[in-house]
Amino acid sequence: MPAATGLMRARDRRPLAARGPTCALAFAFFAEGCGSPVTTVILDNRYAPSPTTPLVVVAAYWQAVSFPVPISPGSSSAPQGTVPASANTAYVVLAPGWNPTSSIPPTSLVVLQSRIGFGVQLGDTLQIPVDDTTFIGHCASGSFLSQAQADFITELVFPSLFTTLAYDAATCTTTPVGDAGGS
């Protein structure tokens, strides 16, 4: 019995974005199967479509829900199952000028953090609008994150997107890292 107790106390060291969706979806499916109301969250990319530099949401995370499918400007994500929550920060990674149908991953990324926390009640749908009025960190709009905020987002929320990129919050630029002698 003590071994089982020790296993139950083991800390899940996976990044938030890697472990959260599984837990939330498992609960959502369980609740739905019991006849309980379904609670969902939808991400709305409210940036205007642009033929030259579209601001594509390449990844997003809120509470225990990950949005790994790119969302083009003027589009919304599919509804994601979640659990009721109050005032949780949302995080977004934009890929300016990237084509989501491309087989090449984006190399220019901009990290954003919601200005306020978002919450949702049991059985409701939360719509998270992604634009410069609800998120900070888009340098082109004169909105900046601190480097500590950006480091939190790149290192803990979206580490897989930034394994080969360094992010500078003051300029909203990404640069390759670990390229020993590359061009």
Q: Which pair of tokens denotes residue 139? A: 């340098």
Alpha helix ranges (H) inside 34-124 = none
Whole domain around residue 125: which residue ranges? 39-176
Return d(Cα 80, Cα 64) in angstroms, integer.
Answer: 10
Residue 127 pairs in a beta bridge with 42
- Predicted TM-score of the model (pTM): 0.79
Q: Is the pLDDT of residue 6 over 50?
A: no
Q: Which one is predicted more confidently, 4 or 54?
A: 54
Q: Tell me, what's the pLDDT at 179? A: 56
Handedness of CA 114, 115, 120, 126 (dihedral sign): negative
User: Rounded to an integer, what distance in angstroms lies between the CA atom of residue 83 and that of residue 72?
Assistant: 26
CA distance linking residue 122 with residue 142, whole number of Å: 36
Q: Is the pLDDT assigned to residue 183 strictly greater than 80?
A: no
Q: In the predicted model, is pLDDT for residue 17 greater than 80?
A: no
- Reported as a single tens digit per residue, the pLDDT across 34-65 is 678 999 999 999 999 988 899 999 999 999 89
Q: Are residues 109 and 83 in contact, defined by beta-carbon separation less than 8 angstroms?
A: no
Q: Tell which wins on pLDDT, 128 or 36.
A: 128
Q: Number of structural domains, the chain?
A: 1
Lowest mean pLDDT, pick from 26-35, 70-79, 108-117: 26-35
Position with higher pLDDT, 64 vs 116: 116
pLDDT given at position 16: 52
pLDDT at 3 over 60: no
Determine, yes or no, domain membership for 2. Answer: no
Residues 6+ apart with CB under 8 A from 94: 47, 55, 56, 57, 58, 109, 110, 111, 112, 138
Any domain includes 1: no
Report the pLDDT value the prediction gives residue 178, as an integer from 0 to 100: 73
| pLDDT at 58 (0 to 100) | 97
Q: What pLDDT score was predicted for residue 15?
A: 54
In a domain, 23, yes or no: no
Look at residue 2 in the predicted model and tell me its pLDDT: 44
pLDDT-based confidence at residue 33 (cuts at 50, 70, 90) = low
Strand partners, 132: none
Residue 51: inside a domain, yes or no? yes
Is the pLDDT score of 19 beyond 80? no
Residue 158 lies in a domain: yes
Residue 163 within a domain:
yes
Is residue 28 one of the residues assigned to a domain?
no
3 is a domain residue? no
For residue 16, which amino acid is it?
L
Report the length, in residues, of the chain.
183
At residue 55, the 3 state secondary structure works out as strand
Residue 79 CB neighbour total at 10 angstroms: 15
Predicted local confidence at residue 34, as pLDDT: 61
